[in-house]
Amino acid sequence: MDRDHLHVVMLPWSAFGHLIPFFQLSIALARSGIHVSFVSTPRNIQRLPKVPPSLATFIKFVEFPLPTLDNNDILPEGAEASVDVPADKVEYLKLAYDRLQYPINQFVAEQLPDWIIADFSAHWAVEIAQNYNVGFIYFVVFSAATVVFFGKPPNYFFVGDQKQAWPSPESLTSPPEWLSFPSSVAFRGYEAVWAHAGAYTEDASGISDAARFTKLSVHVKHWLFVVAGSLKPLNARLLVDKGVAVEVERGEDGSFSRDGIAKAVKLAMVLEEGVKLRTRAREAAAIFGDEYLHQVNYIGHFVEYLKHGGSNKI
């Protein structure tokens, strides 16, 4: 490993809630002198923010056309990200995405990078890294609270012989028993239905999201977490628990009213009862906006880990 010329390959899932965190991490690594190959499809790359000119020599966008499916009518023309397709067609986007493993395998074979940093969707990237003795990191674009809720990897979705760790939607509606502190982080009933189905349903790609997570987590020693917009219900409960947000009141079916929104905004922005909330929100904003803390401390330590190999082989 050449510590002065580290090369990292980024493999984000084709959704902008994933592409943007991967892009931001790429920028942070480039600022530390690490060379990054950001792999995605042409249209996704075109829609990303511009790289600062000073970092242009450190970030290379690697474009692979999204493979076509047997029935070209399944995905809308030009669709390359989840934002481009209706919800019931995302499974076909995953099927097409999985076919990118073949050109990506060839790319890794030719480039032999030091590390691959992959999203949950690229479960097949583990085998690619093993085949070419490349370090592998699983970049989880969910909050740490979400991961804690589902439990310690690798058995947070399946136990034993692929038995579901969460047997029903109802099992997702209470904080898990392994928490040693009070928490309201859990799904509401209406949220749990789609969350459970979304995790365990085997879709057109032939694999469920839960199985994708599990295939990665069973083999990967190195995890990297970031707070993103995914699994918003759990993030919302966490922010309420921490006293930095107020949640809009909803009905049993998830419905809400303009009066409920007005009540929440008034509490957060105007009422005296919201003073403590506003104070804590300002304190949290200062931490999230602390460039030195993130780039020098967090990213700096991570870069040192990459440079020293971090016992990097999976």
Q: Beta strand pairing status for 163-164 and 158-159?
A: antiparallel
Q: Is 294 a catalytic residue?
A: no
Structural contact between residues 149 and 186, judged by C-beta atoms closer than 8 angstroms? yes
CA distance 33 to 150: 35
The percent of the chain in helix, strand and coil, each rounded to the nearest 5, is 45, 10, 45
Task: Tell me the HSE value of 159 on the side-chain side, using a 13 A CA sphere.
Answer: 8
168: left (phi over 0), alpha (psi -120 to 50) or beta: beta
Task: Tell me the HSE value of 282 on the side-chain side, using a 13 A CA sphere.
Answer: 7
Of 119, 196, 209, 222, which is the active-site residue?
119
Q: Is 119 a catalytic residue?
A: yes
CA distance 12 to 23: 9
Catalytic residue IDs: 18, 119
